[in-house]
Amino acid sequence: MSELTDIVEPTVPDTPQYLVGIRMREPLMAEDYLTTEAELHVGDFVIVDAGGGTAVGEVRRPQRPLPEFKRGRLYRRVLRRASDAERSEWRERRAREVQGVATCQ
């Protein structure tokens, strides 16, 4: 009978988790990423887990609490906010990309 009383409840993380929409490149749609940072706003730049490494992305959808029914899904994570140098490098690469597309057309 003691086996039935030793049921372990699933642990809930202490820090609240949020979903935030991150866009990696201009023509792409924003995808949901998981974060614990409470102060991310639309227009902020962040470093995200990108499979084989990290990448800079822009917050395009405001954060919202992670709903209970989505807690079992796997999401890529926001690792941290991007530094000023990382933001400027992203903007320079984006400008070169736009120039390259204009040149090819």
Q: What is the pLDDT of residues 40-76, one digit of tens each?
A: 999 999 999 988 899 999 999 999 999 989 888 899 9
Those residues whose C-beta lies under 8 Å from the C-beta of residue 62, and which sit 6 or more positions away, are 20, 21, 41, 42
Measured CA to CA in angstroms, residue 46 lies from 19, 33, 67, 85, 94 at distances of 13, 11, 22, 12, 15
Q: What is the pLDDT of residues 12-38, one digit of tens each?
A: 556 889 999 999 887 789 999 999 988
Please provide the average confidence, as pLDDT, over all residues in the chain: 85
- pTM listed for this prediction: 0.75
Looking up tokens 């639309």 gives 42
Res. 9: pLDDT tops 60: no
Res. 2: pLDDT tops 70: no
Residue type, 76: R
